[in-house]
């Protein structure tokens, strides 16, 4: 997932605001105790999510894919006092792990967890979204996008993670289902006249689409 030369990557991190002490502890514990820690957003992408949330000041946030809660906490930093962040994950084994960290955050009581199939849960959430972060099973990214796009407030922001897929996205030999789905997603969003978009080469690729 690293596309920059190591010295440039180090320089970028050194010149980006540090993660909080709580996030640093969560980062370390995820790497020590949870499988596939690379799924964690991490320092640089976390600061991007925090910055976008602070700029947008979203009252209604939806995250599809909680994992251990790092990205949710980053986006929660920009929540106003009356804001709410809903986060969905299918892995019930990580529910308590994430909640432990949410409860230590000043805005943790504004984070609502949902455990189960996101395709079934999203239609039950009767909200208009200001910010959506999609970071779950890649094969359903297009379905998630279509589920949320019609329930976005004007000017709302949809973010899709891992859209460069460790560089496989531009490898003609990579024809697996996840890679093909991400290619189709990137094409679809770029051609979608309901949004304007930018594909940010941050970490593993972050597609940002602003709803018109």
Residue 151 lies in a domain: yes
Record the tokens describing residue 197, joined without a space: 């978009």
What residues pair up with 158 in beta bridges, in sequence order? 132, 209
Residue 49: give the domain boundaries. 6-211
Q: Report the CATH number that the domain containing residue 183 is assigned in CATH.
A: 3.40.50.150
Q: Is residue 36 part of a domain?
A: yes
User: Is 185 in contact with 195 (CB distance < 8 Å)?
Assistant: no
Tens-place pLDDT, residues 180-193: 999 999 999 999 99
* pLDDT tens for each residue of 15-73: 999 999 999 999 999 999 998 998 999 999 999 999 999 999 999 999 999 999 999 99
131-186 confidence digits (pLDDT tens): 999 999 999 999 999 999 999 999 999 999 999 999 999 999 999 999 999 999 99
CB atoms within 10 A of CB 67: 23
Q: What is the pLDDT of residue 53?
A: 98
- Written as six digits, the tokens of 179 are 């890679």
In a domain, 1, yes or no: no
Whether 162 is in a domain gets the answer yes
Q: For the residues 97-110, what does the mean pLDDT come to?
A: 98
**Within-domain flag for 196:** yes
Q: Are 131 and 56 in contact (CB under 8 A)?
A: yes
Tokens describing residue 172: 């003609």
């Amino acid at each position: 997932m690293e596309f920059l030369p190591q010295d440039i990557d180090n320089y970028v991190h050194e010149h980006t605001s540090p993660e909080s002490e709580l996030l640093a502890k969560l980062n370390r514990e995820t790497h020590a105790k949870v499988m596939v820690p690379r799924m964690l957003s991490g320092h640089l992408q976390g600061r991007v999510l925090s910055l976008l949330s602070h700029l947008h000041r979203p009252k209604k946030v939806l995250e599809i894919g909680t994992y251990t809660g790092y990205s949710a906490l980053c986006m929660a930093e920009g929540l106003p006092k009356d804001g709410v962040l809903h986060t969905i994950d299918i892995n019930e084994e990580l529910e308590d792990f994430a909640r432990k960290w949410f409860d230590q955050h000043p805005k943790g009581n504004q984070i609502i967890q949902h455990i189960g199939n996101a395709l079934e849960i999203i239609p039950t959430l009767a909200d208009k979204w200001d910010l959506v972060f999609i970071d779950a099973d890649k094969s359903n990214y297009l379905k998630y996008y279509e589920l949320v796009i019609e329930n976005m407030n004007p000017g709302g922001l949809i973010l899709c993670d891992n859209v460069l897929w460790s560089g496989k996205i531009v490898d003609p030999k990579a024809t697996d289902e996840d890679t093909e789905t991400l290619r189709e997603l990137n094409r679809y969003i770029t051609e979608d006249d309901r949004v304007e978009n930018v594909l940010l080469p941050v970490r593993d690729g972050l597609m940002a689409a602003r709803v018109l």
